[in-house]
Amino acid sequence: MHKPGRRASRGKPPPGARLYRPGPPIADEASLGAAVEALRAQDPELMARLLAVAGPPPLRRRAPGFAGLAAIVVSQQVSVASARAILGRLEARVAPLDAERLAAVGDEDLRTCGLSAAKIRALRAVARAIADGALDLDRLAELDAEGAHRALVAITGIGPWTADIFLMFCLGHPDAFAAGDLALQEAARLAFDLEARPDAARLERLAERWRPWRAVAARVLWAYYRAVKARSGMALADGSS
């Protein structure tokens, strides 16, 4: 997983796509296992082939709510080690890390934690939206993937990749899909035996077959990608983890 590629337009699903109400959240190993079986029944040939190589995909849940979204913002465009250090300082300065407490901390204190001006603006925009009642992170799970995505990217500084990773791993939305993720694009190239890595728009179209379990399909693809690369000894796509 990691580093977004081209931004995909997410205002509407692709032509002919159906909108699905989200299923139960992917909250634990049991719910992930049940969702994998549902996906396997929906796309049996491809999923059997991918899972035979990858094995069961990992859950990879992250902290929920504002703290989880803040951690994703912090991780953008820095190394894993740097992100951990910055997040550690931020959590020490804003404890617990929530929207109300962050709003009360000055910019200079946030810069001292290692946050860039752009990341400070993004976190403050999220905090304001929560305080104003314009954004309820927990209730995004009740929306379809497109609606939840739109609610997040409407906030200054929250891009498509950040929104989708939050929905998938912090909220457990079963149908969110990070089509702009470079490693996910490369995984799809391998899975579908494509000549070139699909861009975000093409990957969105390919993923229609997996609704309403696209977040589960993404986990399978990432696991497949890592397994194939490990067997071949080839490097992962930039930033993949």
Task: Give yes or no: residues 146 and 189 share one domain.
Answer: no
Q: How far is CA 65 from the centre of its chain?
A: 14
Q: What's the domain count of the chain?
A: 2
Q: pLDDT-based confidence at 12, cuts 50/70/90?
A: very low
Structural domain of 227:
29-60+175-232
Same domain, 76 and 145: yes
CA distance 221 to 24: 21
Q: Do 75 and 42 sit in the same domain of this protein? A: no
Residues 72 and 133 in one domain: yes
Residue 58: CB atoms within 10 Å: 13
Q: How far apart, in whole angstroms, are the C-alpha atoms of residue 190 and residue 166?
A: 25
Secondary structure class of 169 (helix, strand, coil): helix
Residue 96 lies in a domain: yes
Each residue of 61-98: pLDDT tens digit?
999 999 999 999 999 999 999 999 999 999 999 999 99
Residue 138 lies in a domain: yes
104-158 residue pLDDT tens? 999 999 999 999 999 999 999 999 999 999 999 999 999 999 999 999 999 999 9
186 within some domain: yes
